[in-house]
Structure 1
């Protein structure tokens, strides 16, 4: 392939379907970030999770501006972020659905601070909001890690080409 075959933006924009396909070529982990609101667990899934900084300990997720869940979570002092395992396909779909009880049939736990975590995840991060940056049709949400629980023997889920996959174990 040469540079002459590159697809360029038309009027500074790309076809949304083509752009989704392009973004889907990069595998990412899938997370749930959740908390208690008015005595009930609330949360959402995000596949745009990434580490940001070691000192201070920061991670980020990207949230669509159209999200109705994020404004409720954004007002809270503490959030739980779970890195979902391969077996959590149903959890990821439920936490992305609209108009359903997102926590029906999900095994979850909460901390005293109100952070909510999904059982069976490979990593739990109890976080506080650090910074939010407007970025097009999304917000970049930077979170500061306050505590964590690592389960390195649990393989994380990977989202690639619009499907969930399991990481192959090396010998």
Structure 2
């Protein structure tokens, strides 16, 4: 069996443009959790399912796999700074954040390109990540140009950098 070098795989996948999302939840004690993800995709129309994949090493991982609900905020092209904050580990990501209660009371961005409020449907093993499958219960479309992650940079669909920052 051929084995692909993980560094080569990561370099290759960096050339696949993906949407940038901030995924949020609230645990039973009321603590808010969030992380930046580019591993987000629609999965099914019937039922309405999406998937997002948090790293098992992330400090928020356990909160998400135990969550009843979570919110996917699809970031707008001008929100690279928010993506960078939620990509960091160890800090209170919600301090000075524009997050506010949205659908199902979950933390959301009112000016996101789109929001999807989900009920946790299933958690699957995905190697060093977990695959959270969410059943979409509510959606909101803001319509702004999306933020894209490509070649380790936050950018716009046309290719011009959104900001010089990267995750």
- What is the number of equivalent residue pairs in this alignment? 158
CA contact (8 A) 1:62 1:139 kept: yes
Matched residue, 1:105:
96
CA RMSD of aligned residues (A): 1.8
Q: 1:112 and 1:90 mapped to 2: Cα distance? A: 23
Aligned residue number for residue 13 of structure 2: 23
Q: 1:12 to 1:68 in 2, by over 3 A?
A: farther
Match of 1:155 among 133, 140, 145: 145
Using the alignment, how far apart are the partners of 2:122 and 2:60 within structure 1? 18
Q: Tell me, in whole angstroms, the C-alpha distance in 2 between the residues paired with 1:159 and 1:137.
A: 20
Per the normalisation by structure 1, the TM-score is: 0.84
Question: SS where residue 63 of structure 1 aligns?
Answer: coil
Gaps of 5+ in 2: 160-167
Structure 1 stretches of at least 4 aligned residues deviating more than 6 Å after TM superposition = none
Deviation (angstroms), 1:12: 4.3
For residue 44 of structure 1, the aligned residue among 32, 35, 42 is 35
**Partner residue in 2 for 1:70:** 61
Larger Rg: 1
> What is the deviation of 1:16?
2.3
Alignment match, 2:158: 168
Q: Distance in 2 between matches of 1:13 and 1:105?
A: 44
CA contact (8 A) 1:78 1:114 kept: no
Cα 1:112–1:25 shift into 2, 3 Å: closer
What per-residue deviation string (whole Å, max 9, x for no partner) do you get for residues 8-61 of structure 1?
xxx743322221110111000011110223334211111011111111001111
1:136 paired with 2:127, answer: yes
Which stretches in structure 1 are left out of the alignment for 5+ residues? 1-10
1:6 matched to which residue of 2?
none
2:162 aligned partner = none
Moved more, 37-46 or 121-130: 37-46
Q: Would the aligned equivalents of 2:102 and 2:110 in 1 still touch at CA under 8 Å?
A: no
Distance 1:146 1:138 in 2: 24
